[in-house]
Homo-oligomer: A and B are copies of this chain.
């Protein structure tokens, strides 16, 4: 990859999903709130994993998913995140590289193991998640490849990084490095609980340090502590260069200065698993942005990418997204006039 050819560098938690079927009793027995994501420590992770039935592993993590989507769209990306030199760390690296994303952060030789998210799928198709962040939260400023960041058009960060002090410091340092090189910083607010934990910091970030903001309706209303989507958008307007606010089947709204775009959701045949929808929207949008698409077309690329990932189990695309986006774009312009 030539020095000038990097579209997006993503910085986030490197997590492997460990997925198994479970009954409601198992979930209740371990005190997990059904349908939600709980953070757990090493001991809990150990006990829960022992209680889990036969499982399947697949690489995950919000920003890492987005990077996998970017690669599927034909974008050139790299990932920075922290894994241990253990088996899950090997799985994470293999899977992300296999999508075409560069991942050259060295594996830690000591410290907690690679992060994992234990996913319990109940017979009603709900997902109950328990995440042990392990070494991923040890990401620190010295783990940043500043050269990589400064070569990328966009540095994409997840709000989850804010949960650990060293990762938070790395976040701030990365954003500064990107801006120093005249490049853009994008942020996903990650989830409403994360916003709850870091509200005032996130507001400050959105005010002055983020160029492209991704948030869903729950996150943006939580950020500004308002009841309606409309109130939230009045708050966010003008505070960052671009805000892309997603609303599931209600589509998304893209704001930039005085510009406003209404982007419909892409119709889907069957909703199977919403995991990764926000991650893929960000992938489509960021890819479009780095390719010079109009903001509306960025939103459409996001909508089409998200629509693919919700029609199957798993948070990474199973159909090459670049084909789907190209087809939608052609269809739209063929009907024109």
A→B interface (CB under 8 Å)? 225, 227-231, 233-234, 237, 250-251, 253, 258, 260-264, 296, 332, 335-337
Instruction: Assess the A229–B262 pair: CB atoms within 8 A.
Output: yes
Complex CA distance for A335 and B250, rounded to whole angstroms: 22
Known: A250-B250, A258-B258. A227 touches B264 (CB 8 A): no
Instruction: Assess the B262–A253 pair: CB atoms within 8 A.
Output: yes
Instruction: Assess the B261–A337 pair: CB atoms within 8 A.
Output: no
Interface centre among A228, A230, A234, A251 (most CB of B within 10 A): A230
Complex CA distance for A242 and B147, rounded to whole angstroms: 49
Instruction: Assess the B337–A225 pair: CB atoms within 8 A.
Output: yes
For residue A296, which residues in chain B have a CB less than 8 angstroms away from its CB? 228, 230-231
For residue A233, which residues in chain B have a CB less than 8 angstroms away from its CB? 260, 262
Partner of A229 from the list B229, B231, B253, B264 (CB cut-off 8 Å) is B264
- Closest B-chain residue to A265, C-beta based? B250
Instruction: Assess the A336–B227 pair: CB atoms within 8 A.
Output: yes
Instruction: Assess the A227–B262 pair: CB atoms within 8 A.
Output: no
For residue A260, which residues in chain B have a CB less than 8 angstroms away from its CB? 233, 237, 260
The contact sample of 25 A-B pairs, CB cut-off 8 A, is A225-B337, A227-B332, A227-B335, A227-B336, A227-B337, A228-B296, A228-B332, A229-B262, A229-B264, A230-B261, A230-B262, A230-B263, A230-B296, A231-B296, A233-B260, A233-B262, A234-B261, A237-B260, A250-B250, A250-B251, A250-B264, A253-B262, A258-B258, A260-B260, A262-B262
Complex CA distance for A231 and B233, rounded to whole angstroms: 20
Complex CA distance for A231 and B259, rounded to whole angstroms: 12
For residue A336, which residues in chain B have a CB less than 8 angstroms away from its CB? 227
For residue A225, which residues in chain B have a CB less than 8 angstroms away from its CB? 337
Complex CA distance for A336 and B261, rounded to whole angstroms: 27
Nearest CB in chain B: distance from A231 CB, A = 8
Complex CA distance for A237 and B262, rounded to whole angstroms: 13
Complex CA distance for A264 and B230, rounded to whole angstroms: 9
Nearest CB in chain B: distance from A292 CB, A = 18
Complex CA distance for A231 and B258, rounded to whole angstroms: 15
Nearest CB in chain B: distance from A140 CB, A = 38
Question: Apart from A229-B262, A229-B264, what are 16 other A-B pairs with CB-CB below 8 Å?
Answer: A225-B337, A227-B337, A228-B296, A230-B261, A230-B262, A230-B296, A233-B262, A234-B261, A237-B260, A250-B250, A250-B251, A250-B264, A253-B262, A258-B258, A260-B260, A262-B262
Complex CA distance for A264 and B231, rounded to whole angstroms: 12
Nearest CB in chain B: distance from A101 CB, A = 31
Complex CA distance for A251 and B249, rounded to whole angstroms: 13
Nearest CB in chain B: distance from A276 CB, A = 24
